[in-house]
Amino acid sequence: MLKVGFVGWRGMVGSVLLDRMRSEGDLDSLAVQFFSTSNPGGRAPHGGASAVLQDAREIDALARCEAVLSCQGGGYTSEVFAALRASGWNGYWIDAASTLRLREDAALVLDPINADQIQKRLDDGCRNFIGANCTVSLLLMAIGGLLREGLVEWVSTMTYQAVSGAGARKLTELGSQVGALGAATTDLQGGSAIEVEQAFTRVQTGAAFPVSEIGAPLACNVLPWIDRAMDSGQTREEWKASVEASKILGADPPVVIDGICARVDALRCHSQALCIKLARAVPLAEVRDLLSSGNAWVRLVDNSQEATLRQLTPAAVAGKLDIHIGRLRHLSMGPEYLGAFTVGDQLLWGAAEPLRRMLGFLRDARN
């Protein structure tokens, strides 16, 4: 069996990945060795009482694995990857972090979109396979059917990104913010709407409101800035859209994708409002057929209030592998302009699932 070292299995992405591996039976078809940066020698989450955690900073122990899968974050990748390669290790490095994404010797993995390229890179001897930015992966999963037909001239995407994308501590702080707002209105049962609004606003803008992690109130608010500034005026999250999508698709010239990324107080799912400039006027029935044939996870949602509120929200999609896309219509700019709204779980297809499936490629190559 393929010997895989798993680092970062306790964090949000790692624990979702471990759950997926358990439910797909991967732990029975791979020899998984669990590593830890904080508790080497402790009990591993799988393999019985005798299975202990290896030290995730011990290069020799990592080098005994044929593949290392890291959800530990970019700091760990920077600390360990170069040293592991310098030791002569020629195994497969699979990573959720962005650190290595744009290196020539790394491929981005999103196999429902780029299985051919993954296979080609494997055949060519590539050893580094990296998960892409969550928003980019979810967008490509949603509109893969149109991209495949060469029908997309450009995409403007306006995102509504869940707090889990910003990390566990920020999600926990959002919980504290929600709690503080809830406490502010417990005495206001029967109060007027304006009294409720004023009580919320007083607490949300007060000095005691917890913002040390997020940097601003997120509960009952929208923050149109994610990651650091680029010279272009984009944020780095916005800059990644075209760069990473083009690498996943092998598109040269790059596919034009741009927009504004905003953080909202959703928990797991990223939403994106799309304006797609099509290469030609495509009838909606054909658009729907192409989108739903894009991959096995796309789910079309009717452009009705009932279906939208039931199926096209972060709460409705959380915990699911399905990628929902709806609000499909030609925009009033003309029949070549398609409007759409898509929602996907950023911890699943946005992070854990492409990495889990990369292990499948390696396992299949072995058999």
Using the rule CB under 6 A, is 237 a contact of ligand HSE? yes
Name the catalytic one among 71, 261, 269, 270. Answer: 270
Q: What is the dihedral of CA 364, 93, 250, 155, to 10 degrees?
A: 110
- State phi, psi for 301 to the nearest 5 degrees: -115, 130
- DSSP for 63-126, written as a single string: HTSSEEEE-S-HHHHHHHHHHHHHTT--SEEEESSSTTTT-TTEEEE-HHHHHHHHHHHHHTT-
Q: From residue 152 to residue 191, what is the string marking binding to ligand HSE with x (rule CB under 6 A)?
A: ---------x---xx-------------------------
CB of 240 to ligand HSE, least distance (A): 8
* Closer to ligand HSE by Cβ: residue 161 or 177: 161
Check binding of 271 to ligand HSE (CB under 6 A).
no
Nearest distance in Å: CB 247, ligand HSE? 15
User: Is 133 a binder of ligand HSE (CB under 6 A)?
Assistant: yes
Q: Looking at 65, 134, 261, 269, which residue is catalytic?
A: 134
Q: Is 259 in the site for ligand HSE (CB under 6 A)?
A: no
Q: Return the residue nearest ligand HSE (CB atom).
A: 165
Q: Could you say whether residue 204 binds ligand HSE (CB under 6 A)?
A: no
Radius of gyration of the chain (CA): 22
Beta strand 67-70 with 54-55: parallel, antiparallel or unpaired? unpaired
Asked if 46 is an active-site residue, the reply is: no
CB of 45 to ligand HSE, least distance (A): 23
Give the CA distances from residue 291 to residues 30, 79, 112, 272, 287, in Å, rounded to whole numbers and listed in that order: 34, 41, 13, 16, 6
Distance, first Cα to last Cα, the chain:
9
Residue 5 interacts with ligand HSE (CB under 6 A)?
no
Question: Is 134 an active-site residue?
Answer: yes
Instruction: Please tell me whether residue 342 binds ligand HSE under the rule CB under 6 A.
Output: no
Using CB under 6 A, pick the residue from 16, 69, 134, 180 that binds ligand HSE: 134
| 17 vs 62 by CB, closer to ligand HSE | 17
Residue with tokens 């999103």: 110
- Residue 237 CA to residue 341 CA, distance in Å, equals 19
262: Cβ–Cβ under 8 A, 6 or more apart, which residues? 158, 159, 160, 161, 222, 223, 224, 225, 226
Using rule CB under 6 A, residue 235 touches ligand HSE: no
Nearest to 171 by CA among 160, 179, 163: 163
Does 346 help bind ligand HSE (rule: CB under 6 A)?
yes
Under rule CB under 6 A, how many of the chain's residues touch ligand HSE?
9
Note whether 182 and 230 are within 8 A (CB): no
Measured from the CB atom, the residue of 133 and 204 that comes closer to ligand HSE is 133
Interface positions with ligand HSE (CB under 6 A): 133-134, 161, 165-166, 226, 237, 346, 350
- Mind telling me the catalytic residues? 134, 270
